[in-house]
RNA sequence: GCGCCCGUAGCUCAGGGGAUAGAGCAAGGGACUUCUAAUCCCUGUGUCGCAGGUUCGAUUCCUGCCGGGCGCACCA
C-alpha cells in the first residue's frame, strides 16, 4: 500500500477499515457463489487480539453467524477466507483458529509506510481530523478565588488540560475554561476575613468572623495590602473597605492561581468571571426566562425551579426568600452562555462532592432549550497523599501540606502530572509522594523520559561518529525484522488511534499507559538491537526507527504536558 | 433511605462480550570492554466481591445483594 496512508486519519483505522471492507466483500461473494446463505448481513468488526500469536487483527464474524447459517463457525470462516479479495493491505498469512476466529497476519510494508509518515509529519504525527473541527469546551478546576488550589484541583488540572490537548489532536476545536466564582457569599466572607486581618495588623481588637477563612495566606494578603494602601483603606467606612478588600483578595488569588497553573503547563483560553455575568444581569435573565416558560413556582417566599420535570430528584431554589440568587442561577447563566458561544459539546470536570449537581445542571440546560446530552460531566475523584506508606493527614491545623503549590514544590510538574494521569479520573487515587520523588527505575515518569533521553543520546553519538541520518523516503526499511523492531513499529502505528480513543472516551489516562508501553518496547529493542556499528543498511533503518520512536515519545509527552529531556 | 464512584495478584491499579485476564511495585536469580544498567531478561501468584439473568460465549452487559468511599442545603 504505497502512499495510501491518509494524514488526517489514524493509520490503524485505515488498516482496520480495509480489512472490514474486504471481509464484507468476501461475505457477498460467498453468498453469490452459494457458499453462504446470508439471510441477514452481519456486522463485521475487526479487533486486535490480546495474544499476538493470534495475528495483528482478527474477526469473530463467523462465530455469530453459526445459527443463521446452521453450520460450524470454522466452516463459515473458511468460506469467508476463500472469497477474501486480494487488494489492499498486504496479508502475509491468514489462519482460522479457536472456535472460528479469522486471524490476519499483515506483511510489514504498511509499518514501513508508517515510519515514513512519522518522519514526514514530525510533531504533527498523532493528529487527525477525526473531530472535524467540532467546538468543544472543557471547564475545569474553577476553584473559588478565596484560597489556594488543592491537590484535587491539581488532579483536575492535569486531566482537563490533557483532555483538551487530545481533543485538539483528534481534530476538535477544543477550549479550556476556568470559571471564577468572584461573586456571592463566599467572596463577601473572604473580604471580611481580609479586613479582620488588616485591622489586627494595625493593632485593632477584632473578632475574627466565625465563618471566615482562617488560612495564613489571608494574613499575607492583609500585609500586602497594608503596605500598598493601608492608610486609604483604614480611612474608609467598613462596608466600603470590605468590598475593596474582597476585590483585592480575589484579584490576588486569581493571579496566584493563574501563575501556578501556568507553571503546571496549563494555559486557559478563557478565565470567565461570574461577576461579569451578574453585572450584565444574566442572573435576572435566567429567572425571567424560566418563569416565562412556566418552569418555576413560588413557595415559602422563594422562587423554585421545577427541575424534577427534567429528571432531577427534587426541585431547586433559584431565588432565596431574602431575595438573593442561589449559586445555581449564575451557573445556569454560565452554561447557557457556553452554548450561545457556539460550543456543541460542553464538558465539566467536577469534584466528588458535586456529583449531586449534575442532574440539576442538565435540567437547566434542557430548560434553556439546549440538548442535555451535550453536557458531559467528569467527576474527578479524591486524592489521598501517601507518605512513608501511610496517608498524609489532611489537617489544616497540623500544617500537613495540602496545597497544589506544595505538591509541585515537592515532586515537580512532570511527576505530578504523570501520576495524576496514570489513573482514570473517576477512581480514587493514592498518590505516593515518595515514589514520585524517586529518581530511579521504580518511578514511571523517569522510565518514559529515560527512553527519550537514550534515543537522543544515540542520535548524538551517530552525529559524532559521522553516521549520516538517512533520507526516510529512500531508505530500505525491510531490514527491520526482529520481534522487538516489529512490535515497536506497531506501537508507533497505533498512536493516532490511541489518541482518538482516549479523546472519545474522555480518558486521558490511556496515554500514560501508551507512553509506558512504548518506552518498554523501546528499552527491550535497545537491549537486543544495536543501532550504531551494525551493517550500514541495518543501521540506517534502525536510525529511522529510533528517530520515529523519539518523535512519538515526544508527541505523547507533549500531550501529557510533561517534558521530554534529551539528557538525563 | 436515595444517588454517584470503587471492589481484578501481597500492594497500587490497567483492561474489557470472545480464544491461556495484564502492568508497575514488592520478592528471588541472571545480564554492563559496546549507542546512558534511571535499562533488560527469567521465576510465582488470581473464586476478576457474592448471587441470579441475557448470550453460542460474561471477569466485561443487566438486576439484586454485600463491602469501602463520597454526596443528598433557601452553602458554593
The mean pLDDT of chain A is 91
Q: What pLDDT score was predicted for residue A248?
A: 96
* A476-515: b (≥16 Cβ within 10 Å) or e: ebebbeeebbbbbbbbbbbbbbbbbbbbeebbbbbbbebb
Closest protein CA to C1' of nucleotide B11, residue: A389
Please state, in angstroms and rounded to a whole number, the distance separating the CA atoms of residues A382 and A166.
Answer: 23
Q: What DSSP element (H or E) covers A350?
A: strand A345-350
Please state, in angstroms and rounded to a whole number, the distance separating the CA atoms of residues A38 and A211.
Answer: 72
Q: Which bases along strand B come within 7 Å of a protein CB atom?
A: 2-7, 12-15, 18-26, 34-41, 56-57, 68-76
Closest nucleotide to the alpha carbon of A184, via C1':
B76
- Taking only the tens of pLDDT, chain A with its 568 residues reads 444 788 999 999 999 999 999 999 999 999 999 999 888 888 898 988 888 888 899 999 998 888 888 888 899 999 999 999 999 999 999 999 888 899 999 999 999 999 999 999 999 999 999 999 999 999 999 999 998 998 889 999 999 999 999 999 999 999 999 999 999 888 999 999 999 999 999 999 999 998 888 888 999 999 999 999 899 999 999 999 999 999 999 999 999 999 999 999 999 999 999 999 999 999 999 999 999 999 999 999 999 999 998 888 889 999 999 999 999 999 999 999 999 999 999 999 998 888 888 889 999 999 999 998 899 998 888 888 888 777 776 554 444 557 899 999 988 999 999 999 998 888 888 888 888 887 766 788 999 999 999 999 999 999 999 999 999 999 999 999 999 999 999 999 999 999 998 999 898 999 999 999 999 999 999 999 999 989 999 999 999 999 999 999 999 999 999 999 999 8
Residue A16: name the closest of A96, A108, A104, A120 by CA: A104
Closest nucleotide to the alpha carbon of A354, via C1':
B71
Q: Which residues, listed in sequence order, are joined to residue A347 by a DSSP beta bridge? A: A138, A376
Instruction: Identify the residue whose cell numbers are 481580609.
Output: A194
Note the CA–C1' distance, A530 to B34, in angstroms: 9
Closest protein CA to C1' of nucleotide B20, residue: A51
Q: What DSSP element (H or E) covers A152?
A: helix A151-169
Q: Output the CA–CA distances (angstroms, integers) from residue A312 to A277, A364, A365, A378, in the order listed.
A: 25, 10, 12, 18
Q: What pLDDT score was predicted for residue A545?
A: 97
Please state, in angstroms and rounded to a whole number, the distance separating the CA atoms of residues A469 and A45.
Answer: 40
Note the CA–C1' distance, A507 to B17, in angstroms: 21
Long-range contacts of A366-369 (CB under 8 A, 24+ apart): A366/A310, A367/A290, A367/A293, A367/A295, A367/A305, A367/A307, A367/A310, A368/A289, A368/A332, A368/A335, A368/A336, A368/A339
Q: What pLDDT score was predicted for residue A403?
A: 86
Q: What pLDDT score was predicted for residue A440?
A: 67
Please state, in angstroms and rounded to a whole number, the distance separating the CA atoms of residues A46 and A110.
Answer: 17
Does the domain made of A11-107 have the CATH classification 3.40.50.150? no
* Domain assignments of chain A as residue spans, ordered by start: 11-107, 112-130+442-560, 185-263
Q: What pLDDT score was predicted for residue A325?
A: 93
Please state, in angstroms and rounded to a whole number, the distance separating the CA atoms of residues A362 and A337.
Answer: 14
**Contact, A202 vs A226, CB < 8 A?**
yes
All residues at 6 or more sequence positions from A429 whose CB lies less than 8 Å from its CB, including other chains: A155, A381, A382, A383, A384, A419, A420, A423
Q: Which three cell numbers stand for residue A397?
A: 491545623
**Contact, A499 vs A126, CB < 8 A?**
yes
Domain A112-130+442-560: give its CATH superfamily. Answer: Isoleucyl-tRNA Synthetase; Domain 1 (1.10.730.10)
| DSSP-derived 3-state class of residue A379 | strand
Give me the interface pTM, i.e. the ipTM.
0.92
Please state, in angstroms and rounded to a whole number, the distance separating the CA atoms of residues A327 and A333.
Answer: 10
Q: What pLDDT score was predicted for residue A379?
A: 87
Closest nucleotide to the alpha carbon of A64, via C1':
B56
Reported as a single tens digit per residue, the pLDDT across A217-272 is 999 999 999 999 899 999 999 999 999 999 999 999 999 999 999 999 999 999 99
3-state secondary structure A351-365: CHHHHHHHHHHHHHH
Note the CA–C1' distance, A522 to B38, in angstroms: 14
Amino acid at each position: 500500500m504505497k502512499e495510501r496512508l491518509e494524514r488526517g486519519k489514524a493509520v490503524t483505522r485505515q488498516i482496520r477499515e480495509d480489512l472490514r471492507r474486504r471481509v464484507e466483500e468476501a461475505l457477498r461473494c460467498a453468498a453469490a457463489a452459494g457458499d453462504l446463505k446470508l439471510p441477514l448481513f452481519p456486522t463485521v468488526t475487526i479487533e486486535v487480539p490480546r495474544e499476538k500469536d493470534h495475528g495483528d487483527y482478527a474477526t469473530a464474524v463467523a462465530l455469530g453467524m453459526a445459527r443463521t447459517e446452521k453450520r460450524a463457525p470454522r466452516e463459515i470462516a473458511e468460506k469467508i477466507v476463500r472469497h477474501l479479495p486480494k487488494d489492499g493491505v498486504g496479508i502475509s498469512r491468514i489462519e482460522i483458529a479457536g472456535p472460528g476466529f479469522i486471524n490476519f497476519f499483515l506483511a510489514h510494508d504498511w509499518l514501513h509506510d508508517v515510519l515514513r509518515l512519522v518522519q514526514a509529519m514530525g510533531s504533527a504525527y498523532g493528529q487527525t481530523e477525526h473531530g472535524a473541527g467540532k467546538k468543544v469546551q472543557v471547564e475545569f478546576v474553577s476553584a473559588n478565588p478565596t484560597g489556594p488550589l488543592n491537590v484535587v484541583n491539581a488532579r483536575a488540572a492535569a486531566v482537563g488540560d490533557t483532555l483538551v490537548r487530545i481533543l485538539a489532536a483528534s481534530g476538535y476545536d477544543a477550549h479550556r475554561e476556568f470559571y471564577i466564582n468572584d461573586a456571592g457569599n463566599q467572596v463577601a466572607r473572604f473580604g471580611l476575613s481580609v479586613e479582620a486581618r488588616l485591622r489586627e495588623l494595625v493593632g485593632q481588637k477584632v473578632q475574627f468572623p466565625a465563618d471566615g477563612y482562617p488560612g495564613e495566606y489571608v494574613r499575607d494578603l492583609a500585609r500586602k495590602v497594608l503596605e500598598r494602601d493601608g492608610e486609604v483603606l483604614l480611612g474608609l467606612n467598613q462596608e466600603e473597605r470590605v468590598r475593596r478588600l474582597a476585590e483585592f483578595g480575589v484579584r490576588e488569588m486569581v493571579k496566584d492561581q493563574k501563575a501556578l497553573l501556568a507553571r503546571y503547563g496549563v494555559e486557559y483560553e478563557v478565565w470567565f468571571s461570574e461577576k461579569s455575568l451578574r453585572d450584565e444581569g444574566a442572573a435576572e435573565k435566567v429567572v425571567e426566562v424560566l418563569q416565562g416558560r412556566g418552569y418555576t413556582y413560588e413557595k415559602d417566599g422563594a422562587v423554585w425551579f421545577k427541575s424534577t420535570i427534567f429528571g432531577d430528584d427534587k426541585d431547586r431554589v433559584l431565588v432565596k426568600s431574602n431575595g438573593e440568587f442561589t449559586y445555581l442561577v449564575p451557573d445556569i447563566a454560565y452554561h447557557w452562555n457556553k452554548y450561545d458561544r457556539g460550543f456543541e459539546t460542553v464538558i465539566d470536570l467536577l469534584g466528588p462532592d458535586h456529583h449531586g449537581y449534575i442532574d440539576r445542571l442538565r435540567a437547566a440546560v434542557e430548560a434553556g432549550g439546549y440538548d442535555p446530552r451535550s453536557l458531559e460531566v467528569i467527576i474527578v475523584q479524591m486524592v489521598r497523599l501517601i507518605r512513608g506508606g501511610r496517608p498524609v493527614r489532611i489537617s489544616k491545623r497540623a500544617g500537613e501540606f495540602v496545597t497544589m503549590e506544595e505538591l509541585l514544590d515537592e515532586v515537580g510538574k512532570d511527576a505530578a502530572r504523570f501520576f495524576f494521569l496514570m489513573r482514570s479520573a473517576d477512581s480514587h487515587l493514592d498518590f505516593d509522594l515518595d515514589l514520585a520523588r524517586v529518581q530511579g527505575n521504580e518511578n514511571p515518569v523517569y522510565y518514559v523520559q529515560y527512553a527519550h533521553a537514550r534515543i537522543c543520546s544515540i542520535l548524538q553519538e551517530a552525529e559524532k561518529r559521522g553516521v549520516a541520518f538517512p533520507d526516510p523516503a529512500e531508505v530500505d526499511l525491510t531490514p527491520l525484522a526482529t520481534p522487538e523492531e516489529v512490535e515497536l513499529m506497531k506501537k508507533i502505528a497505533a498512536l493516532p488511534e490511541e489518541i482518538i480513543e482516549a479523546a472519545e472516551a474522555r480518558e486521558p489516562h490511556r496515554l500514560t499507559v501508551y507512553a509506558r508501553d512504548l518506552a518498554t518496547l523501546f528499552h527491550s529493542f535497545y537491549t537486543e538491537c544495536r543501532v550504531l556499528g551494525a551493517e550500514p543498511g541495518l543501521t540506517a533503518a534502525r536510525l529511522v526507527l529510533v528517530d520515529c520512536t523519539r518523535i512519538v515519545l515526544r508527541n505523547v509527552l507533549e500531550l501529557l504536558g510533561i517534558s521530554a529531556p534529551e539528557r538525563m
